[in-house]
Amino acid sequence: MPLKETLDAVIKQAMLAKDKVRLTTLRSLKSQIMLAETAEGAHGAALTPDAELKLLNKAAKQRRDAATIYKEQFRSELEANELAELAIIEEYLPQQLTEADLVERLVHIIQRVGAQGPSDLGKVMGVAARELSGQADGKMISQVVSNLLNNTNQ
């Protein structure tokens, strides 16, 4: 079922439960989907599953970044709200890889592309970003790849 239809059903449930945070978050996601569908060049077509995943990842990243900023500014009430919204968005994202699983997958990718050291970071990141899309945060992937490539050089 497309994400938009799923959100319609869940928005109704949130309205009945009077869950304001869930309702606001879900409406925001639906709004972003509708904007993407009506964007210039989209021709009103429904989003592909990949496009939906990118949209969800973008929304989750925005909430993470905002929560970090609010934490640095000692605005705990706003941070808590962003984290609550993030938890709701993450319900619709694929299961994230654990750090151990991420390292294992990246080691296989490094071996497959034949990376030798830090100079091959771009080559590894291109493959890793494509294969691990939605399963791990890009910043985390980059950090782990850097560490692995720096350690192979020693």
Tell me how far apart the alpha carbons of residues 6 and 29 are, in angstroms, rounded to a whole number: 11
Distance (Å, whole) CA 112 – CA 135: 19
Query: Residue 154 has what pLDDT?
Result: 47
Q: Which residue do the tokens 């319900």 mark?
A: 91
DSSP 48: P
Q: Are 32 and 38 in contact (CB under 8 A)?
A: no
Domains and CATH numbers, the chain: 3-90 (1.10.1510.10), 99-152 (1.10.10.410)
Tens-digit pLDDT profile for residues 25-51: 999 999 999 999 888 776 767 888 888
In single-letter form, the type of residue at position 64 comes to R
CA distance 114 to 91: 36
User: H helices within the chain, ranges in order?
Assistant: 3-17, 20-38, 49-72, 76-90, 99-113, 121-131, 138-152
pLDDT value of residue 112: 92
- pLDDT tens for residues 55-67? 998 999 999 999 9
pLDDT mean across residues, the chain:
90
Residue 15, exposed/middle/buried by CB under 10 A (0-12, 13-18, 19+)? middle
